[in-house]
Amino acid sequence: MTEQLEYHHGQSKAVRELLVFTLGQEEYGIDILKVQEIRGYEAVTRIANAPAFIKGVVNLRGSIVPIVDMRIKFGLGEPVYNAFTVVIILNIFQRTVGMVVDGVSDVIQLAEDELRDPPEFGSVVETTYIEGLGTQGERMVIIVDIERLMSSDEMALVDITDRG
């Protein structure tokens, strides 16, 4: 992804636009082009025998869309559901998936020189889905490859046979 952008826009100009959401005290950024819309939380239909972080499915204008609670998945923040609970609807690998987060803070533009390599934590923290760290002054945004995360085995969102 990063290489592609460099290739198209040249080294210095590469700017990535990210949607930043919060989970607990942490800020995460995802490629804004993967975001379809942001909605409030509505009652879901539970799916039997699914992992706890898969809340269920909702009717999104006629499509059946699964809802994942990232707070449960990452063990961050309080999984409460009220009028202020936010769901980010993602459009990834030709699918629509809803993602519950603590809140959406803003949209930032990140220049190439504000990008840092993902940290090495050894086996303490799973860093496969972290593309890098974005820094703007004191602020640090964890940039997540949301497509890779959502299609991973541990999310249990996709059948193994469906994965490309």
Chain residues that interact with another protein, rule: CB under 8 A: 43-50, 56-59, 61-66, 95-97, 156-159, 162
Q: What is the CA radius of gyration of the chain?
A: 16
Q: Which is nearer to another protein, 106 or 154 (CB)?
A: 154
The least distance separating another protein from the CB of residue 43, rounded to whole angstroms, comes to 7
Q: Which is nearer to another protein, 142 or 157 (CB)?
A: 157
The least distance separating another protein from the CB of residue 42, rounded to whole angstroms, comes to 9
Six-digit token pair at 14?
């590469």
Please count the residues of the chain.
164
Q: Three-state DSSP class for 61?
A: coil
CA angle at 110 for the pair 102 and 92, rounded to the nearest 5°: 55
The least distance separating another protein from the CB of residue 122, rounded to whole angstroms, comes to 32
Q: Which is nearer to another protein, 12 or 59 (CB)?
A: 59
Six-digit token pair at 136?
């703007």
Six-digit token pair at 3?
């290489």
Q: Which is nearer to another protein, 8 or 61 (CB)?
A: 61
Burial class (CB in 10 A: 0-12, 13-18, 19+), 106: exposed
The least distance separating another protein from the CB of residue 20, rounded to whole angstroms, comes to 25
